[in-house]
Amino acid sequence: MATITALETRDVRFPTSRHLDGSDAMNPDPDYSAAYVVLRTDETSDDGEPDGLAGYALAFTIGRGNDVQTVAVEALAHLVVGLDLDEVCADLGAFSRRLTDDSQLRWLGPEKGVMHMAIGAVVNAAWDLAARRAGLPLWRYLSDLTPAQLVACVDWRYLSDALTPAEALALLEEAAPGRAARRAELDRHGYPAYTTTPGWLGYSDEKLARLCREAVADGFGILKLKVGLSLDDDVRRLGVARAAVGPDVRIAVDANQRWDVDDAVRWLTALEPFDLAWIEEPTSPDDILAHARIRASVAVPVSTGEHTQNRTMFKQFLQAGAVDLLQIDAARVGGVNENLAILLLARKFGVPVFPHAGGVGLCEMVQHLAMADFVAISGSMEDRAVEYVDHLHEHFVDPVRVERGRYRPPTAPGMGARMWPASVEEHAFPDGAAWRPEPAAARLVARVPA
């Protein structure tokens, strides 16, 4: 009998603020960071790993507080260590509920913030483990589950006024016959990506124009720009971007929660001439009613989701007609299970999902959810795309492959968050080489967009 023998964590941080990559209206100087999680087992690994089979995942933060996030992961060890590996892999729904139902830890959320992201990381590590054990990339592993197995993954509490297990089962069964054809389509064409690489607020107009042109040349059909610090600057930058890419490339904008309702309406009315694909996070991620009001007042499609804390909030955004599209994030909610619930809700309401990614490891993880959604849930890639940002991928053992503006389906087993041991050591905070004083450390910083 194999068991989970340890829950290991590391505080890993990349000094991205030194180059203003990732700067937006709310987050001027992020240091992309990971509370990195390894679930160890005493089972031998098929691919001859000397340390045996393990599951890998991370909670994503942007610097300070990554220590708090790491301690929160450690607080889950008592619920995980010693579990039978067969039982965990056979019922990942029960595993997930075991973590969210610890009544004392639940007080720290419930199901939100640091503690919920910690649960998400451990749940994702268990899915990574199960997929590795099966020798499959997670998207394949997920899309091999039966409709009933997928329904059993979801914690249905608080959802029944919008979606019942029986309705979800019917939706999944409706999608089942097309799974094989859609897998083949994914293998041939990949999944659409969109890029935020050109649009950070810290970049000059010249760099913005150059990166926009490069993105289009690289095959991206959607670009996203950060907005929200200055309306005049945003009008100018959108002019630069639109001139650089022409009328046929879609441009989305992201305000990163900067506005109240009236600000958002004023700003978006001024930006309407640029034919925006969507406005992302116009206001507080908690403010369902404000999103609904903004959506009713402007022509720009409204979206949110990367900070949306759990399925109950996603449900309400859909029920209130507050969004035209949604972002999901692999590392914000309670892991794969809760994202399955959110994808099922989006399917029920007919709202397309454009997963949030970037940061560190988010592209690697979330692509699996988008592809499993295409194969087994929504059945559609139309008017959908996964965010892509071109940095920090070299730290992952199985980095994303984006070609001609499309994600290639991963073929390596697992969920993609496993990092190279040398990258973990170099970026361990505060003692890793990357955190030694400049300028020596600058040489060790990850490759960044020039």
Strand partners, 182: none
Catalytic residue from among 112, 116, 224, 226: 226
Residue 319 makes contact with a second copy by CB under 8 A: yes
Closest distance of CB 221 from a second copy, Å: 29
Residue 356 among the catalytic residues: yes
Q: Which of these segments, 71-79, 124-132, 348-356, 405-413, binds a second copy (CB under 8 A)?
A: 71-79
Dig out the tokens for 253 from the structure.
């904008």
Residue 182 makes contact with a second copy by CB under 8 A: no
Residue 19 among the catalytic residues: no
Cβ proximity to a second copy, 26 vs 145, nearer residue: 26
What's the CA gap between 132 and 138, in Å, rounded?
8
Whether cis (ω within 30° of 0) applies to the bond prior to 285 is no
Closest distance of CB 408 from a second copy, Å: 29
Q: Which of these segments, 68-76, 341-349, 374-382, 441-449, binds a second copy (CB under 8 A)?
A: 68-76
Residue 337 makes contact with a second copy by CB under 8 A: no
Q: Which of these segments, 69-77, 133-141, 170-178, 418-426, binds a second copy (CB under 8 A)?
A: 69-77
What's the CA gap between 148 and 137, in Å, rounded?
21
The 132-171 site mask, x for binding a second copy (CB under 8 A), equals -------------------------xxxxx----------
Residue in 38, 62, 252, 341 binding a second copy, rule: CB under 8 A: 62
Residue in 72, 216, 222, 353 binding a second copy, rule: CB under 8 A: 72
Residue in 152, 231, 270, 320 binding a second copy, rule: CB under 8 A: 320
Distances (CA, A) of 304 to 61, 71, 252: 18, 28, 12
Residue 61 makes contact with a second copy by CB under 8 A: yes
Closest distance of CB 333 from a second copy, Å: 12
The 107-136 site mask, x for binding a second copy (CB under 8 A), equals xxxxxxxxxxx-------------------
Cβ proximity to a second copy, 64 vs 436, nearer residue: 64
Catalytic residue from among 224, 291, 356, 391: 356
What's the CA gap between 74 and 116, in Å, rounded?
13
Closest distance of CB 101 from a second copy, Å: 9
Residue in 102, 144, 167, 214 binding a second copy, rule: CB under 8 A: 102
Residue 82 makes contact with a second copy by CB under 8 A: no
Q: Which of these segments, 49-57, 269-277, 304-312, 340-348, binds a second copy (CB under 8 A)?
A: 304-312
What's the CA gap between 360 and 230, in Å, rounded?
28
What's the CA gap between 76 and 98, in Å, rounded?
10
The 17-46 site mask, x for binding a second copy (CB under 8 A), equals ---------xxxxxx---------------
Residue 67 makes contact with a second copy by CB under 8 A: yes
Residue 202 makes contact with a second copy by CB under 8 A: no
Cβ proximity to a second copy, 185 vs 286, nearer residue: 286
The 231-270 site mask, x for binding a second copy (CB under 8 A), equals --------------------------x--xxx--------
Residue 351 makes contact with a second copy by CB under 8 A: no
**Residues near a second copy (CB under 8 A):** 26-31, 61-65, 67-69, 71-72, 75, 78, 102-117, 157-161, 257, 260-262, 283-290, 293, 307, 309-310, 312-313, 315-316, 319-320
Catalytic residues: 226, 356
